[in-house]
A and B are shown apart, each in its own frame.
Chain A
Amino acid sequence: MIRIALYIHVPFCIKKCLYCDFYSIRFDVSLLNQYTLALIKELELRLNRDYLVKSIYLGGGTPSILPLENLERIVDTIYMLTRLEENLEFTIEINPGTINKEKLKIYKDLGINRISIGIQSLIDDELQLLGRIHSSKEALEALDISIESGFDNINVDLIYGIPTQTLKSWKYTLESVLKRNLTHISIYSLMYEPGTPLYKSFIRREMDQMPEDLELEIFDVTQEVLDRHRFFWYEISNYAKDGYECRHNLTYWKGEEYLGFGPSAYSFMRNTRWSNTPNVKAYIELLNRSKNPKIWEEKLSPFEKAKELVILGLRLKEGVSLSEVHIKTGINIEEIFAENIKKLISQGLMCRKGDKIALTTKGRLLGNLVFGEFL
């Protein structure tokens, strides 16, 4: 039996956000149906009862735009084909403006037990600047009806570093969501990813980045507020109430195995990582002919695997156990990177806890300098 996490990618959005460089496209009903059929085909081809699924994650894109009957067929297929762990974590990402009580009720009936809401901000100007399709009112509504529908494990995504954002507006957003009954919160600083409209307007100097001092102030205030609300930092961008860390995402950071389905989804199994074609039409076409939609793969050598375990594990508050890495890969990181480890510790970016190495508070914001030493 192989214990895995299972990811489903739903690459459709009503409108792409201005900062987003993830793969998604506009859609119509017929395309959604073809996609659903292809996805079911892929599940049938690849899943079986040798797998024990510990978590399912429906990500996107915008999974909440899937018509309910499509979603039901997908979920039923998974349940039919494979084994599920008893305390399965089953998350769906939803976007305000695409959700209602009826949908949420069905989600619950389908066994989904965790909701992740892309709220980003509760200030309308800021939402507009990001190119979000919803208002702040709709965002809060999505959160409230999720709670009303009986979900007791809810994540909210927020973004700071928006050019017009102030300390006050950020505190308002953060504290407003924390007044509700959440268990998890993901906080990202706005990134200007090359190729996105946001990046282009930054290059054209139509907008300025938030001054770094303000960004750092926001960061500090955030820790303080979250601490007060008993949310604990456990990964670079993630905070949770005790016991509510996202088990699905921990799979990635711990270098464990997962299978991804849908266009552009990645899988990692037996030290090999591979991805599906990102092109929805190609994906559908390939699966219509029962062909594997895989377009790329890389096999990690034990050394590469060991380095990856360190780089990913360092994202976690608990850090990474070097003896575990040694046992899993046969690679002695301690020895090979002795100089780098010494340097990072002396720079105050990294610390040791027993046989584990982990980021310091200072290192949390300078993670790349730490990760870069283990390439």
Chain B
Amino acid sequence: MKLSNIRNFSIIAHIDHGKSTLADRFLEKTNSMPKKKIAEEQVLDQMDLERERGITIKSHPIRMYYVLDDEEYELHLIDTPGHVDFSYEVSRSLAACEGAILVVDATQGIEAQTLANYSLALENGLTLIPVINKIDLPGAEIERVKKQLIDSLGFLEEEIILVSAKEGIGIDELLRAVTERIPPPKGDLTKNLEALIFDAYFDSYRGVVVYTRVFNGTVKKGMNIKMMSTGAVYEVDEVGYFSFGLHPTESLVAGEVGYIIANIKNVKDAQIGDTITDANSPIEKPLPGFKRIKPMVYCGLFPQESNQYEDLRESLEKLQLNDPALVFEPENSEALGPGFRCGFLGTLHMEIVEERLEREYGVKLVATAPNVVYRVSTKDGNILEINNPSQFPHYSLIEKIEEPYVKVSIISPSEFIGPIMELCLGKRGTLIEMNYIDPMKVVFIYELPLNEVIFDFFDKLKSVTRGYASLDYEPIGFRESDLVRLEILVKGETVDALSIIVHRDEAERRGREIVKKLRTLIPRQLFEIPLQAAVNGKVIARENIPPLKKNVLQKCYGGDVTRKKKLLEKQKEGKKRLKQIGQVEVPQEAFLAILKSD
């Protein structure tokens, strides 16, 4: 295919604005859909989790052929996630494209991730096609959304394409716009190979499957390629493109998106963002690659059964290849034994990783409550970045503590201005800006501690705005705060996995809440269990779990024996799921008790 007939593009949108359904229509229109898949919806979301939650987690590349005015085009579509936690996936996909379709829901208008993805696409120098989707719905406000796109994002009225992905309206016009407006890739087939790795996964038989965009030159079977960051050389086994699975081809040429398999067993040699070149005639400088993205949220993941530690490590390594935003390091908890401290982009990312580990890798987990990274300056002049509350230095050694802040954009109908401002104030937020997108819709810019945002901010925001507000955030660095470590003591012993960092003003309230919650979660045992919350060695809240005094089957006669034995067995099963901490048996839910505030 000649370069002028190739188009590489993404679909970007706020969550639920209809990206994946639009992708389905493209596949149908271009006859790219395998027959048996036609009845399914959102066919690109192949992960069980994606289908269940109705969200896209991974980027999905696919090649389609489209004939327009007797000219055949090769379209590479990369379907991308919408949630803020996965913006890293989006930015990687965008680096492989020349253009993007920006989808806005006609009933919702511009939302926070519309803005975020819009900026991301502009930074990548992409050509954008604005689309208003769901125009068939009774609640569609086409004129209003048009005006938002024109006034807030600077599009021209005639650029905007009206679509109903569900009903198949406007799809032809949109495909025409893709071929006409998005520029073909630039690149030179005759130059030395220069290809960007934008994603990868591990196949246990064939090694790493590298997702790549070729910028210059050609890659084909038998060729020796070099990974520029490690210098490792591999012989190419197979190249091809994506279309519901892998389709081998002769070669991948400049401008094309596809995959490379080269029997790469060491996952470190296939780093996402790295450049692949020809080992025999390498280029001099790698492509810019990606900003290394730092995890925002950490939690401890421990195997439920300690003999699954190695399984957990292997699973994390394999998952990391496909999800480079995931980081982990070994952690040894006094309470929970050996496990890993893991870093994530956000709490949704964390949940997804936990679920994937349990489902795809069969590892049963105990997860501790998430926290952010703190910067602690000690009195002897050291600066420590700490991602685990149990690693905090003794309070007497601390000079100051800084915590990460984020710039939060919230878009909401203007009737909720009051409740939103109240919520942000309660979360230690500072209002930076407030603008109207149109008379009915307002965008706030706040600065908030990240810790407050990951805690339960989104749930609260949704509830005070009846689900109408949307949210996006980006890190803006560390700020000093009056923070303390809240320790939880169970029967006089500090439980490392239960300590959290909180603002001093919040410590007492949170301490009381947590011990109260733990009181209901930890089953009564033979002895009294005092539960205490302490800050800097001072107890600020206390509860007691009274000893268990009565637990006996009253009646047991002839016919009962079997039934009663079953009851006893059930009681025993329940006990197995408890973690022994000192003398006390603690259920796993207790470690998440510190998550939610009531």
Contacts and interface: CB of A to CB of B under 8 A. Distances in A.
Given A308-B565, A368-B568, A252 B552 contact: no
B558 A268 contact: yes
Contact of A315 (B556, B558, B559): B556
Nearest to B567: A368
B555 A237 contact: yes
B205 interface: no
A266 B559 contact: yes
Interface in B544-583: 548-559, 561-562, 565, 568-569, 571-572, 575
B440 interface: no
Contact of A264 (B559, B562, B572): B559
B558 A365 contact: no
Contacts of A311: 565, 568
Nearest to A9: B559
Given A366-B550, A367-B553, A368-B552, A7 B562 contact: no
Interface string A109-150: 000000000000000000000000000000000000000000
Nearest to A235: B556
Given A216-B550, A366-B548, A252 B555 contact: no
B553 A366 contact: no
A347 to B, nearest CB: 6
User: Which of B526, B554, B555, B558 gathers most chain A CB within 10 Å?
Assistant: B558
A312 interface: yes
A354 interface: no
A252 B565 contact: no
B392 to A, nearest CB: 36
Given A273-B561, A375-B568, A375-B572, A312 B556 contact: yes
B569 A375 contact: yes
B562 A188 contact: no
Contact of B558 (A252, A364, A371): A252
Contact of B550 (A215, A237, A253): A215
A236 B550 contact: no
A371 B568 contact: yes
A367 to B, nearest CB: 4
Contacts of A191: 554
Given A264-B559, A275-B559, A236 B553 contact: yes
A258 B568 contact: no
B555 A260 contact: no
Contacts of A367: 551-553
Interface in A209-236: 212, 215-216, 219, 236
Given A311-B565, A371-B568, A372-B568, A365 B559 contact: no
Contact of A365 (B552, B555, B562, B572): B552
A251 B559 CA distance: 12
Residue among A249, A349, A367 facing the most chain B CB atoms (10 A cut-off)? A367
A220 B557 CA distance: 24
A251 B562 CA distance: 16
A368 B551 contact: yes
Given A260-B558, A264-B559, A375 B565 contact: yes
Given A212-B550, A236-B553, A347-B526, A266 B568 contact: no
Contacts of B565: 308, 311, 375
Contact of A366 (B551, B554, B561): B551
B558 A7 contact: yes
Contact size class for B?
A: 20 to 34
A265 interface: yes
Chain B contact residues, majority secondary structure: loop
Contacts of B548: 366, 369
Nearest to B527: A347
A212 B575 CA distance: 22
Which of A216, A219, A311 counts the most B-chain CB atoms under 10 A from its CB? A311
A258 B568 CA distance: 23
Contact of A252 (B554, B557, B569, B572): B557
Interface in A231-252: 236-237, 249, 251-252
A216 B549 contact: yes
A298 interface: yes
Contacts of B575: 372
A365 B554 contact: no
Contact of A212 (B549, B552, B553, B561): B549
B561 A308 contact: yes
A366 B526 contact: yes
A349 B547 CA distance: 14
A189 interface: yes
Interface in A4-22: 7
B116 to A, nearest CB: 47
A177 to B, nearest CB: 19
A258 B557 CA distance: 11
A260 B559 contact: yes
Contacts of A260: 558-559
B478 to A, nearest CB: 49
B520 to A, nearest CB: 15
Nearest to A259: B558
A85 B554 CA distance: 30
Contacts of A366: 526, 548-552
Interface string A261-298: 00011101000010100000000000000000000001
A315 B565 CA distance: 13
A189 B551 CA distance: 11
A369 B551 contact: yes
A60 to B, nearest CB: 12
A96 to B, nearest CB: 20
A298 B571 CA distance: 22
B556 A189 contact: no
Contacts of B558: 7, 251-252, 258, 260, 265-266, 268
A210 to B, nearest CB: 11
A13 B260 CA distance: 77
Contacts of A265: 558-559
A221 B550 CA distance: 16
B554 A312 contact: no
Among A216, A219, A266, A349, the most chain B Cβ lie within 10 Å of the Cβ of A266
Contacts of B555: 188, 237
A249 B552 contact: no
A327 to B, nearest CB: 21
Interface string B182-219: 00000000000000000000000000000000000000
A236 B548 CA distance: 17
Contact of B554 (A188, A216, A251): A188
Contacts of B559: 260, 264-266, 275
A189 B561 contact: no
Contacts of A189: 550, 554
Nearest to A373: B572
A226 B553 CA distance: 21
Given A368-B568, A368-B571, A252 B561 contact: yes
A301 to B, nearest CB: 14
Contacts of A212: 549-550
Interface string B492-526: 00000000000000000000000000000000001
Given A375-B569, A375-B572, A368 B553 contact: yes
A298 B526 contact: no
Given A188-B554, A236-B554, A365 B549 contact: yes
Interface in A170-223: 188-189, 191, 212, 215-216, 219
A256 to B, nearest CB: 11
- By Cβ-Cβ distance, the 3 closest A-B pairs, closest first, are A367-B552, A266-B559, A368-B551
23 contacts: A212-B549, A216-B549, A236-B553, A236-B554, A252-B557, A260-B558, A264-B559, A265-B559, A273-B561, A273-B562, A311-B565, A312-B556, A315-B556, A349-B526, A365-B549, A365-B550, A365-B552, A366-B548, A366-B549, A367-B553, A368-B551, A372-B568, A375-B569
Interface of B: 526, 548-559, 561-562, 565, 568-569, 571-572, 575
Given A273-B561, A311-B565, A365-B551, 6 more contacts: A236-B554, A236-B556, A249-B557, A315-B556, A347-B526, A365-B550
